[in-house]
């Protein structure tokens, strides 16, 4: 397999940044090489240059999207960063709102969206929120959105979900489906998924906006500083004043012009303007 030259790496990085805002520093060259090399081999192409030519053309057969998936897909699982869900539970139990709208802005395979759905369903059952609650999950990847809509997961991904909650909200696979779990239909009907490029303008607002809770976790790492700021401010236009905003706990300071109050690592409240 041919090696990834500096020149071709730069061209791939420029294509990703220009198209969807992804930023890859020179230190990410080994990552791009290791993620794309098996795909190039599977397609029967002879070099990274041929692959670049393929994903640069409009008639690429969806290969550009495949490259995006390969370069951005990370491990995800249910109730990742549990302190965020504990904060949401405490906040909603205190406020007892009649309506709760949530946006998982980089929803990936849906683990975050369905984790939140489990929490909201339990809060509603306890009478701590009203019956009008909904969740929107968006991502740039068709592939992960299709998987999220099916709501079928390896049981290992739900390792942090207590057995009682699993029993309430999930269907356990048997026979050929042993080791798999599907989210139950009552939760699935509350969670909708759609494709969205966070680097593009949000025309006319999103379904369900303004949201009470917005997750933008573990995606800002893919953007350079100016793009991060633009993305965060754009996303926050869809959050109501006083609403909760979450990024990954390891992502540091939020780069934005929108006033935010720090609640905990990775957790913020949008300040009323």
Q: Catalytic pick from 111, 139, 165, 190? A: 139
Which tokens go with 151?
Answer: 């709501």
Beta partners for residue 227, in sequence order = none
- Has 171 been labeled as part of a binding site? no
Instruction: Specify whether 234 is catalytic.
Output: no
Distance from C-alpha of 119 to C-alpha of 212, rounded to nearest angstrom: 15
Tokens 């809770």 -> residue: 213
What is the number of helices (H) and of strands (E) in the chain?
A: 10, 10
- Has 217 been labeled as part of a binding site? yes
| Strand (E) or helix (H) holding 170 | strand 170-172
Whether 71 and 102 have beta carbons less than 8 Å apart is answered as: no
- Has 218 been labeled as part of a binding site? yes
Which tokens go with 116?
Answer: 């939140």
Instruction: Specify whether 111 is catalytic.
Output: no
- Has 15 been labeled as part of a binding site? no
- Has 80 been labeled as part of a binding site? yes
- The greatest distance separating any two alpha carbons of the chain, rounded to the nearest whole angstrom, comes to 61
- Has 4 been labeled as part of a binding site? no
Distance from C-alpha of 96 to C-alpha of 94, rounded to nearest angstrom: 6
- Has 112 been labeled as part of a binding site? yes
- Has 7 been labeled as part of a binding site? no
CA angle centred on 53, ends 49 and 57, rounded to 5°: 165
Beta partners for residue 270, in sequence order = 260
Using DSSP, state whether 4 is helix, strand or coil: coil
Whether 206 and 238 have beta carbons less than 8 Å apart is answered as: yes
Q: Catalytic pick from 6, 7, 35, 229? A: 35
- Has 212 been labeled as part of a binding site? no
Q: Could you list the residues known to form a binding site for S-adenosyl-L-methionine, using ranges.
A: 74, 76, 80, 112, 139, 197-198, 217-218
Residues annotated as part of the active site: 35, 139
């Amino acid at each position: 397999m041919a090696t990834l030259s500096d020149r071709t790496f730069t061209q791939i990085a420029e294509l990703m940044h220009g198209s969807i805002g992804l930023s890859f520093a020179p230190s990410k060259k080994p990552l791009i090489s290791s993620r794309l090399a098996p795909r190039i081999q599977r397609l029967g192409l002879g070099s990274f240059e041929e692959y670049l030519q393929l994903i640069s053309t409009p008639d690429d057969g969806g290969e550009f999207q495949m490259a995006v998936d390969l370069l951005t897909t990370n491990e995800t699982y249910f109730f990742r960063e549990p302190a965020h869900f504990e904060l949401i539970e405490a906040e909603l139990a205190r406020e007892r709102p009649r309506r709760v709208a949530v946006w998982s802005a980089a929803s990936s395979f849906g683990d975050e969206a369905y984790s939140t759905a489990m929490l909201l369903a339990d809060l509603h059952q306890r009478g701590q929120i009203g019956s009008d609650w909904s969740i929107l999950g968006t991502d740039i990847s068709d592939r992960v959105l299709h998987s999220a809509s099916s709501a079928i997961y390896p049981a290992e991904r739900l390792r942090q979900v207590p057995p009682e909650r699993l029993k309430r909200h999930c269907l356990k696979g048997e026979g050929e489906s042993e080791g798999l779990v599907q989210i139950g239909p009552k939760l699935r009907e509350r969670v909708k998924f759609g494709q969205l490029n966070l680097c593009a303008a949000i025309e006319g607002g999103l379904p369900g906006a303004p949201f009470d809770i917005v997750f933008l976790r573990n995606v800002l790492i893919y953007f350079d500083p100016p793009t991060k700021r633009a993305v965060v401010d754009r996303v926050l236009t869809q959050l109501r004043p006083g609403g909760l905003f979450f990024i990954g706990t390891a992502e540091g300071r939020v780069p934005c012009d929108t006033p935010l109050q720090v609640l905990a690592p990775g957790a913020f409240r949008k300040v009323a303007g």
